[in-house]
């Protein structure tokens, strides 16, 4: 059914369709709306779940860990400082291979305090071992949330669905929510083979010494590799039942003969697609690559996607001070095995919620026309605002 | 190992065997008369063969708790000695479902497990274990949250009064004047400068259905408290005084004696609280001087230096703390003592102490 919904509200409805047994969350803008909406669904009797209103993000992550380990479908949501507080538990959830789903409503990490959108939070837990899927619209976030529950239980890996805070979470969009029968047919009941059960006791999270630890990490890495195919397969199945795909690992838009490409994650990709429509006649037609699966990283699909490009702009919505862009660095590494790799220009944009208008498409293409264009820059930083020594 | 549909059958067999009838969530269990079988449980939830030190009070306490709790439980265990010595992969000493996540979240993980049981309509009781570091200090917030949200979880803290797993560092449960590796005695210091946190009073302030302290020196009392807590629907809390021969620096053979003297001098009162109100105490009719307890332990040896005037001051301070406990909990008891403890401090026991008072 098509309805005009705010992003957070749409996610709450999608989570309800997945019938979670346990939901735990702590208020932290902008994901707060999601759990507020879930609470309302519970209060109105439209969702039967154990809603645990915890005393911190740390406990939110711990509660869903315990719930999923005990065999329950579990969900949480967080953002920004909350993700940072959860991070120790997030590593633990993944390391114990506990399948559950969380929404990260992407937001900057302080200090100084910024409540606005960028992707520093999910980037900070990049190495936690979670699957990380990025969405460019609320429809995609709804669909990806439903897919995430299935990916989690088919891979024994936790899945983070990343959506840009405010830009998506607080934006009204017409959403096509699948009906309950469709979701039930797509998403089977939760099953976790290693679930805690008094009739067949298992010990989980034991002390693992150096004789076994590298094997634990190797198998986790291998499982992430196998998840690549699962993510595509489940997206394809979702398309079968709803007529709508979310873009597998990554999708490519634009002409095959394009010489310039732009890659990014999240809502900025939508902005680039719109910018392309506006400015392609004026400045040229670029290939837009929408990276959906950030972890596992689709190296092969990316190498295929850049074929024929001379230049590739990588947009980062986070920064690793002292290095530059993280996605940019990773893309460069992955493309380094190509004999004819495009030249990579890595730009951090929209840090701490600085608006990224459609004109950015034009500005990016203009910037890289210059043969002395920087290979990395915080492109929208206004240096005049800084004292001379900091420029 | 039974699998699939056999699970529920096996579980109900186990329940019957151990005196817990097939439970339903609505069934009140607290008022049920205890069977003789229940009073003599033999279920070994924590098996022997683990790697605890000789004379480990915590290992003993955990075994006693598991015996009384029975098979239809699952455990969330904080990081610490108990976790480390019971589960060196690929071995495990646990015969019940058991999970360790982190140092500071066992109460929150247990909250999640209990919520899962509720959602699934199961009645398996969730236990949450932590040491004093994981409870008094780093896991305190998660514990408070669990109690406030009224999860049906029995939280047990094995109190050995310092961070023993990391090498005997002071915690907020370390008693005043005790030496640890981060509160050593020296020219400027007489061990830990601060008081042992009165955790039970803080727990009591959550007005949970049941909170109690117990000691490995009194196993029957300890197990009765566990069984009572198991029958309560809602959050329950048990702190168990568990000597650590390595950290307290006493003879491994004296674990029980040390624990007993802590109770008998009033420094570790055994009490029970119902929604914050004191309902029961273990009376000590003739309290022993605290020095009887302290002298057995190397961590207090600096208090027995006759040449140091500060030593007597600290001994007096600790005696005053014990006297305060005796006063506020009424540990001398009233009326006739149900347990005849008269003269028990004068009984000469075997071992290295024979001949001493």
> Is B68 among the domain residues?
yes
Copy the structure tokens of residue A138.
């609320």
State mean pLDDT over A365-378. 97
Percent of chain B residues topping a pLDDT of 90:
80
Q: Is the pLDDT of residue B21 over 90?
A: no
B153-159: strand order across its sheet: A203-204, B98-100, B73-77, B125-131, B153-159, B236-241, B210-215, B271-274, B277-281
Instruction: Please give the residue range of the domain that contains residue B183.
Output: 38-353
- Predicted confidence at residue B343, as pLDDT, reads 60
Q: Is A92 an 8 Å CB contact of chain B?
A: yes
Q: Are the beta carbons of B295 and B258 closer than 8 angstroms?
A: no
Residues of B in contact with A63 (CB under 8 A): 108-109, 111-112, 115
Q: At what angle do helices A32-43 and A7-17 cross, to 10 degrees?
A: 50
Residue numbers in A near B1 (CB within 8 A): 200
CA quadruple A312, A315, A320, A322: dihedral sign: positive
Residues of A in contact with B3 (CB under 8 A): 200
pLDDT attached to residue B1: 39
Is the Cβ pair B112, A197 closer than 8 Å? no
Closest-CA distance, B29 to chain A, in angstroms, reads 19
Lowest mean pLDDT among A359-373, B242-256, B329-343: B329-343
Average pLDDT over residues B8-12: 73
Q: Which of A49, A54, A203 sits opposite B119 (nearest CB)?
A: A49
| Chain B contact present for A191, CB below 8 A | no
According to the CATH classification, is domain A251-390 in 3.30.70.260?
no
Q: Is B4 domain-assigned? A: no
Closest in B95, B111, B141 to A66, CB measured = B111
Residue B3 pLDDT grade (very low, low, confident, very high; cuts 50, 70, 90):
very low
> In this structure, is residue B29 part of a structural domain?
no
Q: CA-CA distances (angstroms) from residue A144 to A27, A33, A149, A227, B192?
A: 23, 18, 9, 15, 54
Of the pLDDT bands very low, low, confident and very high (cuts 50, 70, 90), residue B333 is confident
* Interatomic CA distance for residues B234 and B148, integer angstroms: 10
CA distance to A17, A152, A234, A284, B228, per residue, from A145 (Å): 10, 11, 12, 35, 44
| Phi, psi angle pair for A177, to nearest 5° | -85, 125
Cβ atoms of A162 and A266 within 8 Å: the answer is yes
Q: A128 CA to chain B: closest CA distance, Å?
A: 15
Residue B120 touches chain A, beta carbons under 8 Å? yes
Tell me the two tokens of residue B153.
């979880």
Least CA distance to A88: which residue of chain B?
B102
Write down the pLDDT at residue B27. Answer: 47
B116 in Cβ contact with A21 (< 8 Å):
yes
Residues B134-141, mean pLDDT to the nearest whole number: 98
Is B14 at the interface with chain A, CB within 8 A?
A: yes
- Greatest alpha-carbon pair distance for chain A in Å reads 69
Q: What is the complex's ipTM, to 2 decimals? A: 0.96
Contact A53 B149 (CB under 8 A): yes
Using CA atoms, how far apart are residues A121 and A62, in angstroms rounded to an integer?
18
CB B233 within 8 A of CB B306: no
- Taking CB atoms and an 8 Å limit, are A62 and B102 in contact across chains? yes
pLDDT digits (tens, 9 = 90+) for B72-110: 999 999 999 999 999 999 999 999 999 999 999 999 999
Banded pLDDT at B4 (limits 50, 70, 90): very low
| Gap from B112 CA to chain A (nearest CA, Å) | 4
Phi, psi of A251, deg, nearest 5:
-130, 155
Q: Average pLDDT for residues B64-73, to the nearest whole number?
A: 94
CA–CA separation, B4 and B281 (whole Å): 46
Q: Which of residues 141-160 of B touch A (CB under 8 A)?
A: 141-142, 144-145, 148-149
Measured distance CA(A93)–CA(A128) in Å, rounded: 9
Q: What is the pLDDT of residues A94-110, one digit of tens each?
A: 999 999 999 999 999 99
% of chain A exceeding 90 in pLDDT: 98
Compare B92 and B343 and report the one with higher pLDDT.
B92
The stretch A360-365 carries a mean pLDDT of: 98
- Which among B3, B96, B109 has CB closest to A62? B109
What's the whole-number mean pLDDT along residues A351-364? 98
Cα dihedral B189/B191/B195/B196 (nearest 10): 170
For the segment A9-30, the average pLDDT, to the nearest whole number, is 95
Tell me the chain B residues in contact with residue A66 when contact means C-beta distances shorter than 8 Å. Answer: 76, 99, 101, 108-116
Residues in chain A with CB shorter than 8 Å from the CB of B14 are: 198-199
Q: Which residues pair with A51 in a beta bridge?
A: A23
User: Quick one: closest CA in A to B1, which residue?
Assistant: A200
Q: Do A66 and B1 touch (CB under 8 A)?
A: no
Weakest mean pLDDT among A118-122, A133-137, B3-7, B49-53: B3-7
> Residue A56: its chain B contacts at CB < 8 A?
141-142, 145
Give dist(CA A6, CA A40) in Å, integer. Answer: 15
Mean residue pLDDT across chain B: 90
Chain B, 23-82: which have a CB under 8 Å from a chain A CB?
71-74, 76
What confidence category does residue B345 fall into, taking pLDDT thresholds of 50, 70 and 90?
low
CA B100 distance to own-chain centroid: 18
DSSP-assigned states of every residue in B177-245: T---TTS-B-SS-BS--SPPP-HHHHHHTTT-SEEEEEETT-HHHHHHHHHHHHH-SS-EEEEEE---H
Using alpha carbons, list the distances in angstroms from residue A2 to A5, A179, A184, A199, A250: 9, 10, 19, 46, 26
pLDDT of B285 reads 86
Q: Residue range A160-185: average pLDDT?
A: 97
Residue A42 at interface with chain B, using a CB cutoff of 8 Å: no
Name the closest residue on chain A to residue B11, using Cα atoms.
A199
Q: Do B87 and A74 touch (CB under 8 A)?
A: no
Quick one: pLDDT at residue A1? Answer: 84
Q: Which chain B residue is nearest to residue A72, measuring alpha carbons?
A: B116
Using CA atoms, how far apart are residues A351 and A288, in angstroms rounded to an integer?
21
- Calculate what percentage of chain A has a pLDDT beyond 70: 100
Start and end residues for every CATH 3.40.50.920 domain found in chain A: 251-390
What was the pLDDT predicted at B40? 57
Other CB atoms within 10 Å distance of the CB of residue A304: 11
Give B182-194 pLDDT, tens digit per residue. 999 999 999 999 9
A177 to chain B nearest CA, in Å?
A: 25
Q: Mean pLDDT, to the nearest integer, of A61-82?
A: 98
Query: How far is residue B295's CA from residue B249's CA, in Å, rounded to a whole number?
Result: 11
Tell me the CATH number at B124.
3.40.50.970
Q: Which residue of B has its CA nearest to A19?
A: B119
| Cβ-contact A60, A88 below 8 angstroms | no
Residue A27 has pLDDT above 90, yes or no: yes
B177 contacts B300 by C-beta, under 8 angstroms: yes
Contact yes or no for A163/A246 (Cβ under 8 A): no
Query: For A2-242, which CATH class?
Result: alpha beta
Closest CA to A97 of A49, A154, A56: A154
Instruction: Note whether residue B294 is domain-resident.
Output: yes
At A220-276, the pLDDT tens digits run 999 999 999 999 999 999 999 999 999 999 999 999 999 999 999 999 999 999 999
Task: Look at A55 and B145 and tell me if their CB atoms are within 8 Å.
Answer: yes
How many domains are there within chain B?
1
Q: Pinpoint the residues of chain A covered by CATH 3.40.50.970.
A: 2-242
Interface with A, mutate which of B75, B79, B108, B144 (most A CBs under 10 A): B108
Tell me the pLDDT band of B14, cut-offs 50, 70 and 90: confident
For residue B201, give both structure tokens.
Answer: 């009073």
Q: pTM of the predicted model, to two decimals?
A: 0.91
Asked if residue B158 lies in contact with residue B135, where contact means CB atoms within 8 angstroms, the answer is no
The residue-averaged pLDDT of B121-147 equals 98
Q: Could you give the CA distance from residue A22 to residue B112 in angstroms, rounded to a whole number?
A: 8
Residue A29 pLDDT grade (very low, low, confident, very high; cuts 50, 70, 90): confident
């Amino acid at each position: 059914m098509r309805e005009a919904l705010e992003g957070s509200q749409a996610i709450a409805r999608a989570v309800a369709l997945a019938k979670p047994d346990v939901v735990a969350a702590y208020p932290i803008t902008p994901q707060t709306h999601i759990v507020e909406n879930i609470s309302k669904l519970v209060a109105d009797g439209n969702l039967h779940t154990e809603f645990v209103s915890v005393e911190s993000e740390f406990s939110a992550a711990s509660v869903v860990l315990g719930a999923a380990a005990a065999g329950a479908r579990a969900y949480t949501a967080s953002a920004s400082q909350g993700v940072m507080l959860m991070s120790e538990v997030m590593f633990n959830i993944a390391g114990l291979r506990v399948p559950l789903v969380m929404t990260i409503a992407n937001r900057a990490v302080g200090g100084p305090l910024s409540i606005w959108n960028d992707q520093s939070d999910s980037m900070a837990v990049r190495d936690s071992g979670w699957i990380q899927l990025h969405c460019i619209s609320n429809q995609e976030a709804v669909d990806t949330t439903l897919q995430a529950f299935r990916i989690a239980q088919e891979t024994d890996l936790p899945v983070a669905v990343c959506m840009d805070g405010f830009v998506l979470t607080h934006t009204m969009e017409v959403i096509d929510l699948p009906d309950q029968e469709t979701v039930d047919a797509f998403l089977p009941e939760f099953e976790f083979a290693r679930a805690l059960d008094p009739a067949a006791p298992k010990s989980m999270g034991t002390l693992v010494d150096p004789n076994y630890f590298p094997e634990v990490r190797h198998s986790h890495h291998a499982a992430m590799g196998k998840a690549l195919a699962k993510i595509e397969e489940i997206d394809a199945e979702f398309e079968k039942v709803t007529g709508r795909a979310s873009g597998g690992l990554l999708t490519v838009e634009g002409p095959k003969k394009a010489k310039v490409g732009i890659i990014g994650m999240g809502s900025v990709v939508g902005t680039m697609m719109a910018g392309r429509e506006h400015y392609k006649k004026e400045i040229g037609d670029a290939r837009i690559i929408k990276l959906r699966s950030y972890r596992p990283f689709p190296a092969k699909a990316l190498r295929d996607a850049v074929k024929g490009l001379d230049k590739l702009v990588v947009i980062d919505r986070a920064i690793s001070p002292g290095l530059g862009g993280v996605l940019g660095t990773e893309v460069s590494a992955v493309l380094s095995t190509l004999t004819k790799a495009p030249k990579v220009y890595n730009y951090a944009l929209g840090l701490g919620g600085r608006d990224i208008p459609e004109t950015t498409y034009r500005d990016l293409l203009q910037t890289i026309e210059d043969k002395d264009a920087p290979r990395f820059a915080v492109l929208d930083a206004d240096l005049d605002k800084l004292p001379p020594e900091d420029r | 190992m039974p699998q699939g549909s056999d699970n529920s059958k096996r579980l109900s067999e186990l329940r019957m065997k151990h005196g817990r009838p097939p439970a339903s969530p609505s069934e009140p269990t607290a008022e049920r008369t205890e069977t003789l079988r229940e009073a003599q449980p033999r279920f070994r939830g924590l098996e022997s063969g683990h790697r605890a030190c000789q004379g480990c009070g915590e290992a003993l306490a955990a075994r006693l708790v598991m015996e009384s709790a029975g098979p239809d439980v699952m455990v969330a265990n904080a990081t610490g000695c108990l976790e480390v010595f019971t589960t060196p992969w690929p071995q495990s000493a646990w015969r019940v479902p058991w999970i360790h996540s982190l140092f500071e979240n066992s109460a929150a993980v247990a909250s999640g497990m209990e919520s899962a049981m509720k959602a699934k309509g199961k009645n398996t009781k969730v236990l949450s274990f932590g040491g004093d570091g994981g409870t008094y200090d780093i896991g305190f917030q998660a514990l408070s949250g669990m109690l406030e949200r009224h999860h049906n979880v029995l939280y047990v803290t094995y109190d050995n009064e310092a961070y023993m797993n990391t090498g005997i560092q002071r915690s907020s449960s370390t008693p005043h004047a005790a030496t640890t590796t981060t509160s050593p005695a020296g020219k400027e210091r007489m061990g830990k400068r601060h008081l042992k946190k009165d955790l039970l009073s803080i727990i009591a302030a959550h007005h949970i259905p049941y909170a109690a302290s117990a000691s490995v020196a009194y196993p029957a009392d300890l197990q009765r408290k566990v069984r009572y807590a198991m029958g309560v629907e809602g959050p329950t809390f048990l702190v168990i005084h568990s000597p650590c021969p390595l950290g307290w620096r006493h003879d491994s053979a004296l674990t029980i004696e040390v624990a007993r003297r802590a109770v008998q001098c009033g420094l570790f009162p055994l009490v029970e609280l119902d929604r914050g109100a004191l309902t029961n105490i273990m009376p000590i009719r003739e309290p022993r001087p605290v020095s009887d307890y302290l002298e057995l332990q190397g961590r207090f040896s600096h208090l027995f230096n006759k040449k140091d005037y500060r030593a007597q001051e600290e001994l007096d301070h600790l005696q005053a703390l014990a006297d305060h406990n005796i006063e506020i909990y009424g540990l001398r008891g009233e009326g006739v003592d149900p347990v005849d403890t008269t003269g028990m401090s004068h009984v000469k026991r075997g071992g290295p102490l024979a001949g001493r008072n």
